[in-house]
Structure 1
Amino acid sequence: MYAALWRILPGPTWVRILMLIVLAALVLAALVEWVFPWAADTLLPQESTVGE
């Protein structure tokens, strides 16, 4: 998968690396902004206690 992604990106090596860093930052930002809060609200942990 990573080799295919590397081949489809245009430009010289430094441009590809820059694009991959920007894409990774965008994916991480989307996860933190939308996916993780949705998962926290949807997948509520069971109530548990440790040592009563």
Structure 2
Amino acid sequence: MSAAGEAARERARQAAADYAAVVASVGIDEGEALCIVEAALRSGDAAAPAVL
């Protein structure tokens, strides 16, 4: 894997860890959290980072 690809994976991993922390802090269960991510990926909402 290229350095750029590795950096992209690390960025995604960190974003996922941050999202998991937010989800846990607001009490959303894992199933609902995954549905939120799937919906964002399908709708294109994932293209623009959200401000938390």
Kindly name which structure, 1 or 2, has the bigger radius of gyration based on alpha carbons.
1
Higher percent of residues as helix: 2
TM-score, normalization by structure 1: 0.47
With the length of structure 2 as denominator, give the TM-score of the two structures: 0.47
